[in-house]
Amino acid sequence: MAKRLATAKSNYTPFEQPTPQNVDHVKGDHDKLVSDEGYDILFEKSVKCPCKQLDRNKTHTTCVNCNGSGWVFVNATTTKSLILSQSKQLKFGLQGEVLNSGQISVTPLSGIVMSENDRITLLDSVGVVSEQPRPYLSDTGQVILKFNYIIKSVETLFKFISTSLPLQRIEEEDYEIDGNTLKLNADKFKTSDITFSSRYFYNPQYIIVDVAKHVRNIHLRDELGTLNQTVYPQLCIARLAHYTFNQDENNIDNG
Ligand SMILES: [Zn+2]
């Protein structure tokens, strides 16, 4: 459940009254608000993966740097951020589809500078998601299922056999969780087993899709009437990662 963004207390003098269009932020107030009300997050900066230069039209699902997403995430930092769900502001397309599912606003501490495609993970929140994993074969022929998120625990895992047979439940002892992959028991699963479905718990992970307010310096007058330069905090829009990176779900190759 997202916390609401509280209103920062104003340090403005009567000469600098804030207007509704220009919400006031004073660095000290802002950072205290983020520290008190914010979520613990893991913040990772994005870098374009050079594998895209090999062939721009191809998704390199075996790239160990980006897993085919085209982006590498570096400099993982634990920090705080205000998080506000935008579920009350859903936008609908012509066919009634929701255009901004899983979208949140992110307001980091004033020293943190976020950019488009950076990634944040909510460390104290747990979500559950249903996903068809991408199957890979290890060098030894073991089937490895790759998911969008780091798996905390698996709620259900099924193998699809055919449309005329019920889904086959896979028991806990037949797989091993390793980050965002499940390694299946090599004695029981073979290369033809490529269609699975799972529901699992994860720490919600978001990709920054827009920086609504970039960092910029502004001048604010303190209680003595002196103008001081300060940094206007960022406001970013982020979306659950699986809405932003379209990875091929049905490829099977050596990964
Ligand atoms: Zn790559």
Q: In this structure, what token pair is assigned to residue 5?
A: 């963004």
Contact 143, 189 (CB under 8 A): yes
- The residue written with tokens 């919400």 in the block is 23
Average pLDDT over residues 28-51: 90
Average pLDDT over residues 70-95: 83
The residues facing 156 across adjacent strands are: 199
Contact 167, 159 (CB under 8 A): yes
Average pLDDT over residues 149-161: 93
* Residue type for position 194: I
Q: In this structure, what token pair is assigned to residue 255?
A: 């990964």
| CA 145 – ligand 1 centroid, Å | 19
| CA 152 – ligand 1 centroid, Å | 25
Structural domains of the chain, ranges and CATH numbers in brackets:
14-125+203-254 (no CATH), 128-202 (2.60.40)
| CA 18 – ligand 1 centroid, Å | 46
Task: Report DSSP state, residue 13.
Answer: -
The residues facing 77 across adjacent strands are: 43
Phi, psi of 21, deg, nearest 5? -80, -15
Q: In this structure, what token pair is assigned to residue 208?
A: 């920054």
pLDDT digits (tens, 9 = 90+) for 87-109: 666 677 777 776 667 889 999 99
| CA 155 – ligand 1 centroid, Å | 30
- For 203-232, give the DSSP string: --EEEEEEEEE--EEEEEE-TTS-EEEEEE
Rounded Cα gap, residues 170 and 101, in angstroms: 30
Task: Report DSSP state, residue 138.
Answer: -
* Residue type for position 240: L
**In which band, very low, low, confident or very high, does the pLDDT at 44 lie, cut at 50, 70 and 90?**
very high
Position 74 scores a pLDDT of: 94
Does residue 156 register a pLDDT over 90?
yes
**In which band, very low, low, confident or very high, does the pLDDT at 70 lie, cut at 50, 70 and 90?**
confident
Does residue 17 register a pLDDT over 50?
no
| CA 254 – ligand 1 centroid, Å | 15
Q: Tell which residue, 33, 14, 7, has the closest CA to residue 223.
A: 14
Rounded Cα gap, residues 117 and 50, in angstroms: 16
Contact 170, 157 (CB under 8 A): yes
Task: Report DSSP state, residue 102.
Answer: T
Tell if the pTM clears 0.75, that is, is over it. Answer: no
CB atoms within 10 A of CB 141: 10
| CA 93 – ligand 1 centroid, Å | 32
Q: Compute the half-sphere exposure of residue 1: CA atoms within 13 Å on the CB side of its CA.
A: 1
| CA 64 – ligand 1 centroid, Å | 7
pLDDT digits (tens, 9 = 90+) for 201-254: 999 999 999 997 766 667 777 788 888 776 677 899 999 988 876 544 333 333
CB atoms within 10 A of CB 123: 13
| CA 72 – ligand 1 centroid, Å | 7
The residues facing 202 across adjacent strands are: 127
